[in-house]
Amino acid sequence: AQKITQTQPGMFVQEKEAVTLDCTYDTSDPSYGLFWYKQPSSGEMIFLIYQGSYDQQNATEGRYSLNFQKARKSANLVISASQLGDSAMYFCAMSAMDSNYQLIWGAGTKLIIKP
């Protein structure tokens, strides 16, 4: 069975510091995608970044990068130079053929940026 684990229920980070949000996954499917989403308190789910299981390089999107370690089955999100607007829930999710491409979600990490 596929599973996503986020072990950090909450994090406090000083503004302008970098932050790493942890995500480990479990799947026996060789083809899968890993996604990070941001959910502010207003509720909308915002797609941040994607990493494919066959991608050789770590994905980057602006201030977001994904530290993908396939052998360790981890896909940590790194946010550089954090801003107050980064305060939100962050979810790691996975899609694979085994699960009919439905997104399997972690429990999320609540990130609070301190001024």
Partner 1 sequence: DAGVTQSPTHLIKTRGQQVTLRCSPISGHKSVSWYQQVLGQGPQFIFQYYEKEERGRGNFPDRFSARQFPNYSSELNVNALLLGDSALYLCASSRDQMFHQPQHFGDGTRLSIL
In the complex, the residues that contact partner 1 under the rule CB under 8 A are 31-33, 35, 37, 42-47, 50, 52, 91, 95-97, 99-108
Minimum gap (Å) between residue 2 Cβ and partner 1? 11
Nearer to partner 1, 80 or 102 (CB): 102
Q: Give the residue among 107, 104, 113, 49 at the shortest CA–CA distance from 78.
A: 49
- Between 81 and 107, CB nearer to partner 1: 107
Residue 80 gets the label, from left (phi > 0), alpha (psi -120 to 50) or beta, of: beta
* CA distances, 84 to each of 19, 39, 115 (Å): 13, 14, 7
Cβ 87 to partner 1, closest distance in Å?
A: 16
